[in-house]
Amino acid sequence: MFNVGDKIVYPMHGAGTIDSIEEKSLLGEKQSYYIIRMPGEVKVMVPTAKATEVGVRSIIDKTATHKVFDILEENETEMSSNWNKRYRDNMDKIKSGDIYEVADVVRNLSFKQKEKGTLSTGEKKMLNNAKQILVSELVLAEHASQEEVENLVESKISLAFEENRVVNDNSIKVSENIVSKFIPFNGTNDEKNNV
């Protein structure tokens, strides 16, 4: 049971604060509801009896925020090349309500967007939703503004993208140099000249 003032996460919607707990009569049935104030002054009602069942949880603590930022700084994880499977996999991660899974989706789709220059409409919408969910929880956990958190998330992803792409490019150049050092490609066949 959560209390008024608690900061909680509602999967697929993000993090918010419980404004009140009210009894409402819907379809002739009286139930108790958490009234959650979400970012943008949106209010969401969640039946208190079903809160755990739908995945409502407390926001993460400071230690967990560091792990989220670590995930954003890592290289992308493997995603299916099949658009439908990739979309379903990412949607399952977002629906889980697990902030680490959401961070994984945000990083992976951001990398994909940086590589290709754009995303499909569906994945672009998914990335925006996942970012909103991620940022809403980090704002409450870090006691920071939305703009500060958005900038931090973007800078961590951009840095990770640059580092991982530069490392990959350098490793290719290093292997080419090693190959050319041991196998001369100057158009002559040294064995024939030595015979």
| Residues recorded for the chain | 195
Longest dimension (CA), the chain: 100
- Residues contacting residue 108 through CB under 8 Å, at least 6 positions apart: 76, 77, 79, 90
Question: What pLDDT is recorded for position 175?
Answer: 46
Statement: residue 127 has pLDDT above 70: yes
CA dihedral angle for residue 159, residue 164, residue 169, residue 173, rounded to 10 degrees: 120
pTM of structure: 0.81
Helix/strand/coil for 111: helix
pLDDT the model gives residue 144 = 93
Residue 172: the pLDDT is 47
Residues 6+ apart with CB under 8 A from 168: none
Dump pLDDT digits (tens) for 46-94. Answer: 999 999 999 999 999 989 999 999 999 999 999 898 889 999 999 999 9
Tell me the average pLDDT of the chain: 87
DSSP 8-class letter at 17: E
Q: Between 103 and 184, whose confidence is greater? A: 103
pLDDT, tens digit (0-9, with 9 covering 90-100), for 74-84: 999 998 988 89
